[in-house]
Amino acid sequence: MCGRTSLFVPRSELEDRFEATVVADGGYRPRYNIAPGSGLEVVTNDAPDEIDRFHWGLVPPWAEAVDDGYINARAETAAETRPFGDAWANRPCLVLSSGFYEWKDVGAGPKEPHRVHREGDPAFAMAGLWQETTVDEEPVRSVTILTTEPCDVLEPIHDRMPVVLCRDEESAWLERGPAERQALCRPYPGDDLDAYPVGRTVNDPGNDDPRVIEPAETEQRGLGDFGG
């Protein structure tokens, strides 16, 4: 699964990278520790030249509350699964990220958090689906991140990973039909993905600053444990 992400590239670089303009309410600010229920910066097939912010957790039309959303969808079954079928067919989006986090089960003791990022690319795109619905008479635009089997880098850490798109696949994800997009939902094929352990600072979503991405050994030498 993908349950925590980040986006902290400067706004001008973000806009240049995706050839899109930030239109999100409140503008844009770097964030190092984005949890479900927060907003995610997205580029949708309806507005490929805009960077907006949608609620993380796809809210189906029958939901009674915004918190009833789905943060992830399995790429293998999304087309046939009720909350995602229509979005899969009609509403793909890019979910923008500077790196996401996964937790490794190390047996005894707490799981070990890792940061996963793409070397040489300060912002990249994960494959997502978006939905617009109404909850309590208020319009809600929401998003889910598609997941797939792990690549070689992620396999020792977790049994799932987000669908990370190669740079030359981003337009195809937004523009092509379901069958062609399905072919893009596979373990990341590039050799530029890297992962390293970080400190437990990331466990608390209230910690949202550069400490979160520091390698664990650096934190142990002097920053201390700021997380739960």
Active site amino acids: 2, 102
- How far, in Å, CA of 96 to CA of 113, rounded? 21
Q: With 0-12 CB in 10 A as exposed, 13-18 as middle and 19+ as buried, what is 138?
A: exposed
Tell me if 104 sits within 8 A of 157, measured CB to CB.
Answer: yes
- How far, in Å, CA of 169 to CA of 224, rounded? 40
- How far, in Å, CA of 174 to CA of 3, rounded? 23
Q: Which two tokens stand for residue 165?
A: 């798109």
In DSSP terms, which residues pair with 118 in a beta bridge? 193
- How far, in Å, CA of 86 to CA of 68, rounded? 17
